[in-house]
Amino acid sequence: MKAFSRIVLMATSLLFISACGEKSETSQAQVKQQKFKWKLVTSWPKNFPGLGIAPEKFAQHVNKMSNGRLTIEVFGAGQLVPGFEVFDSVAEGTAEMGHSGAYYWKGKIPAASFFAAVPFGMNAVETNAWLHYGGGLELWQQLYKPFGIIPVAGGNSGAQFAGWFNKEINSVEDLQGLKMRIGGIGGEVMSRAGALPVNMPGGEIFPSLQSGALDASEWVGPYNDLAFGFYKAAKYYYSTAWQEPTATLEFLINEKAFNGLPSDLQEIVLVAARAVNDDMLSEYTARNSAALKTLVEEHGVEVKTFPPQVIEVLKNTTKVVIEEMAANDEQVNEVWTSYKRFYDSIKSYHEISEQAYLQNRQ
């Protein structure tokens, strides 16, 4: 049995190698004639820590691996198209690729939010497992297929902070009428809880907080929030993660452009994206803890947490909102069914493994 499977494997490898060999001849010929220059548009300021660095690294990897046969120019939000037009721009082919967050397209595709962040949902490691070993990515790709876009995972922020507030949140009453920048499903939850959520690109938050147009805003966490200088515009910093247990970012690829690449360049694009998916979470993890120290020690920021009553209300409201979304939209229902099944299983597994460990090591 063992010897037999070894032979089958060897035969398979040989087939694989010889198939590659044949393809090699053809593609090398094509390749010499054809160089590809792609544009990649993003929803972030050019070179913004974490979010903006990821697509730059992606482009560098692709350029190097392809030996300049596929060069990718990265544009910050507003340089080629506004931050919230990334999806349309990739769909139309104005840009061959984009880097963004799926919840920005919830007006067009309500189910998209589930591929970016689910309040009280899976963290970065769990979401990656669902996407790559739980059927999540296939559902995501089905969802964008009618728009001619192939989405792949494009990094994780890790658990995000609840955000910056100009007043203390001691009870649910303090949320009433609160003008807060918060998008995705979390925005809908905040709305049901009495706040007035607003969606705006990151670059516009600071002046809105400063002018009083916003009372509060979530963005990402210490690393990014320090970069935007929010501590100069808001008084309290709430660490409570609830709305985005991670943000999963996305690379958007125009399907026609992808299909026009030889298969080695296709693989280069997909593998570079996966490497960047790995890298971003490491960057956030390392930089967040350093940035929080700076915020507290150098800028005197007061870090607070929501009281349990507020967390309970947000958690229960999330359940109601998601169930309504699933009842009203077949795609949401399909995605949520897959998400929830995976989540239920991994949540109880992590309770006795990762979570128990974090408690034991204290």
Site for a second copy in 157-176 (CB under 8 A): 158-159, 161
Residue 197 CB, nearest distance to a second copy (Å)?
Answer: 20
> Which of 259, 282, 309, 337 touches a second copy by CB under 8 A?
282
Q: Determine the 3-state secondary structure of 143 from DSSP.
A: helix
Query: Given the complex with a second copy, which of 162 and 198 has the nearer CB atom?
Result: 162
Interface pick for a second copy out of 42, 113, 277, 317 (rule CB under 8 A): 277
Q: Which one of the spans 68-76, 108-116, 198-206, 319-327 is the region binding a second copy (CB under 8 A)?
A: 68-76
Nearer to a second copy by Cβ, of 46 and 179: the residue is 46
Identify residues 217-236 at the interface with a second copy (CB under 8 A).
221
Instruction: Among 88, 174, 204, 264, indicate the residue that binds a second copy (CB under 8 A).
Output: 264
Q: Identify the helix (H) or strand (E) that includes residue 136.
A: helix 136-144
Task: Measure the CA–CA gap between 343 and 63, rounded to whole angstroms.
Answer: 37
DSSP 240-305: ---S-S-PEEEEEEEHHHHHTS-HHHHHHHHHHHHHHHHHHHHHHHHHHHHHHHHHHHTT-PEEE-
Given the complex with a second copy, which of 263 and 337 has the nearer CB atom?
263
Using CB under 8 A, pick the residue from 1, 3, 7, 352 that binds a second copy: 352
- Between residues 256 and 315, which has the closer beta carbon with respect to a second copy? 315
Q: Considering beta carbons, is residue 49 or 110 the nearer one to a second copy? A: 49
Residue among 82, 43, 29 nearest 224 (CA): 43
Q: Which is nearer to a second copy, 199 or 338 (CB)?
A: 338
| Distances 284 to 9, 224, 265, 290 between C-alpha atoms, Å | 40, 9, 29, 10
Return the number of the residue (37 or 173) whose C-beta is nearest a second copy. 37
Site residue total, a second copy (CB under 8 A): 93
Q: Which tokens hold the place of 299?
A: 């800028």
- 96 belongs to the binding site for a second copy (CB under 8 A): no
**Can residue 267 be called a binding residue for a second copy (CB under 8 A)?**
yes
- 301: tokens are 């920021």
88, burial (CB in 10 Å: exposed 0-12, middle 13-18, buried 19+):
middle
Residue 47 binds a second copy, judged by CB under 8 A: yes
Interface pattern 72-91 for a second copy (x via CB under 8 A):
-x------------------
State in angstroms the smallest separation of the CB of 352 from a second copy.
5
State residue 43 phi and psi, 5-degree precision.
-95, 15
Give the shortest CB-178-to-a second copy separation in angstroms: 20
Can you tell me the distance from the alpha carbon of 90 to that of 154, in angstroms, rounded to the nearest whole number?
A: 15
Site for a second copy in 309-328 (CB under 8 A): 311, 315
CB 58, CB 90: distance < 8 Å: no
Find the binding residues for a second copy in span 116-155 (CB under 8 A).
120-121, 123-126, 128-134
Please report where in the chains the tokens 């010499």 appear, as a residue.
32
CB-nearer residue toward a second copy: 60 or 333: 60
Please state, in angstroms and rounded to a whole number, the distance separating the CA atoms of residues 158 and 147. Answer: 29
Give the footprint of a second copy on residues 11-30 (CB under 8 A): 13, 16-17, 20-21, 23-24, 27-28
Single-letter residue type at 266: Q
Q: Which helix (H) or strand (E) holds 358?
A: helix 354-361
- 73 φ/ψ angles, rounded to the nearest 5 degrees: -100, 130
DSSP of 2-58:
HHHHHHHHHHHHHHHHHHHHHHHHHHHHHHHH--EEEEEEESS-TT-TTTTHHHHHH
Determine which residue in the list 39, 69, 99, 106 makes contact with a second copy, applying CB under 8 A.
69
Choice between 158 and 183, CB closer to a second copy: 158
Contacts of a second copy in 197-216 (CB under 8 A) = none
Nearer to a second copy, 92 or 267 (CB): 267
